[in-house]
Amino acid sequence: MSCKLQLSKIAVPIAIFGMSSNLVGQNSQQTIEEIEVFADSRRTEGLTEANASISVLGEEELDLILQTHYQEALARVPGFSGNRNNGQESLMALRSPVLTGAGACGAFLIAENGIPVRSAGFCNVNEMFDTHSEYAQSIEVIRGPASAFWGSNALHGLVNVRLPDPGEVGELTLEQGPRGSYRTKAAIGSDNGNFKQSLYLTGINEEGYRDDSGVDQQKASWLYEYTLPNGIKMEGGFTYNNLNQETAGYVAGAKAYEDGNKRGTNPNPEAYRDSQSTRVWTRFTMESGDWEYIATPYFREVNMNFVQHFLPGQPIEDTEHRSYGIQLAAFRDLTDSSTFSWGIDAENTDGSLKQDQPNPTTGSLFVRRTIPQGMHYDYEVEASQLALFANYENSLTDRLELSIGARLERMDYEYDNLMIDGRTDANGVACGFGGCRYSRPADRDDDFTEVSPKLGLSYELSENHTLFARAQRGIRAPQATELYRLQGSQTVADLDPVELDSYELALQGGGNNWNYSAAVYWMDKENEILQNSDRMNLNGSETRHQGFELAVGYDLTDSLSVNGVFNYADHTYDNDLVSGGQNINGNDIDTAPDQFGNLRLTYRPMDNLLAELELVHMGEYYTNPENTASYGGHDLLNLRMQYDVTEDFMVYVNVMNLADEEYAERADFSGWVGDRYFPGEPIRAFIGFTWKYR
């Protein structure tokens, strides 16, 4: 494994922004200054005005990537090292290791047009597939704790998918991929003066590289914009997602991803995941006196049913939740150099979870006696989230700017167990060996109140170079599953919110044909929730996270440019913990590579021809907390080419894994089976066209 990061010995520029520079001839500092973002303050502002570590993947770049999975796009973002699992599944990592477990998803806030796709207490590690990212106008990523405008779950970062502005549009994209897979995208919209509207549709059908691993997915987004006679602007719409997926499990054995007899197989042909989600929202913007007010009421519904093929007995999980919420914010310019904003977020959620095992458990006598057939959990949770936040910005001098803010947030849970309390089977019969694995707490209420402050300074070194410093705290309340889906002898999970203190120094800037951003960060996380060897959910872990991120773009000529992202990170356990009979204090956290990055060479020899060669690097990482098993990493080459036949008709070909590398999308280690992997796909080509008919 590579040596650990020694921050005190790094002598490099340091910066805060991670801009993903786009296409040929667009790496000037002036171009960066034209980029607009929504994610920092929940209203549109210039990227260079935001005191935050924000990366933006723009529309032109996303149109070139034409992602089949969001990982293909976010791999260009500093700090991102997430795993692509089977089908549309994923595990996020953003200035963090790849996090797993019941509440791991609570470390990241995923939003679409500023609306979180899941309720704060009901996250899911795969929730990026709920966004209509295939039709994104841009994808904004805040690295590290998000601003005071975002609360619980924006711990390690925020991903916001911005859909296109509604209006006149008409286009059709058809794509053919390997093994008979295809994708269809269509958009139609109109501009009727005061009323604009657009409909975006996406359909995906993939047979899957591995046995019984096909994917069918449909997405629809309708967007509108309307201004009332009194001047109030309304923007809104809905997004609907339906996913039906056959899921392939791990293949086991040392370097099984290189074994031609294993890599295409599926040891869990019975596994599946079905998911449906709907979001409806309207954003009202109005001015009154010196204030600008923005109010966004929304509704969300999520339903998911899947086989937990990774558990003994393979129980079926069925979850759902419905939320009503509103985001309120007010903005005012106090003077020519200072602004103040404040707001309230309120949300109410009704959620439920059922876990049912239709078949008898197989395996050892202990497993068969402690995991009964039948219903394991059946509970409902009503959750409410209420937050008050404020933010103040002021130019202290011509070059020095201050940004200070804070958020006070409260989460309340009312839990209702619909089964027999305790660790019996569904009929109240006790299990052998001291009791059943699954434990159902008695009805209870829980509440959590936290404050998350932030302080930021920016100093303009020169016209094109700015230095930043920021300190802030990220929070997340325990998820409902961490509180009420217990195991073993635990009857109450007495948990505290997870807290992450982040400190950052940064520098960003550029010139006529180049730009750069760099950042050094230090983060300490406390009260991390883990499951110990007795299967109890406890606040038992402290971790330390530090790293260096560099993003650069340079136009070599008018037709040739190079862009890259380099990451050097160190994620370690920071308190005494016993795993596998060892104290792992000071060990690297598993699935946390020290080095990873991305390098792209983009070439446009003619106005109607564009080509990009991309190198994706994933460094070595440990696959268990004891640091006794590891994955060696990989390097992938991707080639993308687009040709405009006419102004309205474009054909393209994307060749992924051009060198046909044998690699693992995810490597893991299990005490039961040893090394196990999600094998990566071999070389594959996607050919398609886009017709803009209006």
What pLDDT, in 10s, does the model give residues 237-246? Answer: 999 999 999 9
How many domains, in total, are found in the chain? 1
The answer to whether the CB of 54 falls within 8 A of the CB of 142 is yes
Say whether pLDDT at 335 is over 80: yes
H helix intervals, 305-415:
365-370
Say whether pLDDT at 11 is over 70: no
Using DSSP, state whether 79 is helix, strand or coil.
coil
What is the pLDDT at residue 431? 95
Cα-Cα-Cα-Cα torsion 333, 334, 336, 339, nearest 10 degrees, comes to -50
Say whether pLDDT at 78 is over 50: yes
Say whether pLDDT at 23 is over 70: no
87-91, 186-190, 593-597: lowest mean pLDDT where? 87-91
What is the pLDDT at residue 49? 75
pLDDT tier, 28 (very low <50, low <70, confident <90, very high otherwise): low
CA gap 347, 638 in Å, rounded: 43
What pLDDT, in 10s, does the model give residues 340-351? Answer: 999 999 999 999
- Residues 6 or more apart whose CB falls under 8 angstroms from that of 102 comprise 479, 481, 482, 485, 529, 531, 537
Among 620, 613, 619, which residue's Cα sits nearest to residue 637? 613
15-24, 273-282, 529-538: lowest mean pLDDT where? 15-24
The answer to whether the CB of 267 falls within 8 A of the CB of 307 is no
**Mean of pLDDT values over 306-333:** 95
- Domain assignment present for residue 5? The answer is no
- Domain assignment present for residue 657? The answer is yes
The answer to whether the CB of 540 falls within 8 A of the CB of 498 is no
What is the pLDDT at residue 579? 85
Using DSSP, state whether 435 is helix, strand or coil.
coil
What pLDDT, in 10s, does the model give residues 593-622? Answer: 999 999 999 999 999 999 999 999 999 999
Q: What is the pTM of this model?
A: 0.93
Residue of 29 and 393 predicted with greater confidence: 393
**Mean of pLDDT values over 291-311:** 96
DSSP letter for 137, please. S
**Mean of pLDDT values over 192-219:** 95
100-109, 449-458, 628-637, 676-685: lowest mean pLDDT where? 100-109
The answer to whether the CB of 155 falls within 8 A of the CB of 498 is yes
**Mean of pLDDT values over 453-481:** 94
CA gap 420, 437 in Å, rounded: 14
- Domain assignment present for residue 4? The answer is no
- Domain assignment present for residue 1? The answer is no
**Mean of pLDDT values over 436-459:** 96
What is the pLDDT at residue 19? 40
- Ranges of beta strands (E only) in 556-662 are 560-573, 578-579, 582-583, 595-606, 609-618, 621-622, 630-631, 634-644, 649-656
**Mean of pLDDT values over 321-332:** 96
Say whether pLDDT at 5 is over 60: no
CA gap 504, 516 in Å, rounded: 17
Q: What is the CATH number of the domain that holds 414?
A: 2.40.170.20
DSSP letter for 106, please. G
pLDDT tier, 398 (very low <50, low <70, confident <90, very high otherwise): very high
What is the pLDDT at residue 32? 63
Say whether pLDDT at 196 is over 80: yes
**CA 521, 526, 528, 531 torsion: positive or negative?**
positive
Say whether pLDDT at 660 is over 80: yes
- Domain assignment present for residue 560? The answer is yes
What is the pLDDT at residue 8? 34
What is the pLDDT at residue 21? 41
What is the pLDDT at residue 51? 81
What is the pLDDT at residue 117? 96
CA gap 438, 445 in Å, rounded: 20
**Mean of pLDDT values over 491-505:** 94
At residue 229, what is the residue type?
P
Among 414, 305, 413, 427, which residue's Cα sits nearest to residue 376? 427
What pLDDT, in 10s, does the model give residues 90-105? Answer: 999 999 999 887 777 8
Say whether pLDDT at 18 is over 60: no
What is the pLDDT at residue 12? 33
CA gap 654, 674 in Å, rounded: 35
What is the pLDDT at residue 2? 40
Determine the Cα angle at 460 with ends 455 and 461, to 5°: 125
What pLDDT, in 10s, does the model give residues 58-71? Answer: 999 999 999 999 99
| H or E, element range at 158 | strand 157-162
- Domain assignment present for residue 6? The answer is no
**Mean of pLDDT values over 533-547:** 85
Q: What percent of the chain has pLDDT over 90?
A: 83
CA gap 572, 585 in Å, rounded: 8
User: Which residues partner with 349 through β-bridges?
Assistant: 323, 383
User: Which residues partner with 672 through β-bridges?
Assistant: none
Say whether pLDDT at 1 is over 70: no
Residues 251-255: contacts with CB within 8 Å, 24+ apart? 251/676, 251/677, 251/678, 251/679, 252/670, 252/673, 252/674, 252/675, 252/676, 253/674, 253/675, 253/676, 254/674, 254/675, 255/675
Say whether pLDDT at 13 is over 90: no
Say whether pLDDT at 581 is over 90: no
How many Å is the Cα radius of gyration of the chain? 25
Cβ-based burial of 152 (10 A; exposed 0-12, middle 13-18, buried ≥19): buried
Using DSSP, state whether 252 is helix, strand or coil.
strand
At residue 152, what is the residue type?
S
What is the pLDDT at residue 30? 60
Say whether pLDDT at 10 is over 60: no
**Mean of pLDDT values over 652-661:** 98
CA gap 636, 614 in Å, rounded: 8
What is the pLDDT at residue 33? 64
pLDDT tier, 678 (very low <50, low <70, confident <90, very high otherwise): very high
Strand 54-57 with 138-143, pairing: antiparallel
11-25, 148-162, 251-265, 396-410: lowest mean pLDDT where? 11-25
CA gap 658, 395 in Å, rounded: 50
What is the pLDDT at residue 535? 77
Say whether pLDDT at 9 is over 50: no
Which residue range(s) make up the domain with 205? 11-692
Q: What percent of the chain has pLDDT over 70?
A: 95
Say whether pLDDT at 449 is over 60: yes
* Helix and strand element counts for the chain (H, E): 5, 40
CA gap 597, 633 in Å, rounded: 12
CA gap 401, 617 in Å, rounded: 37
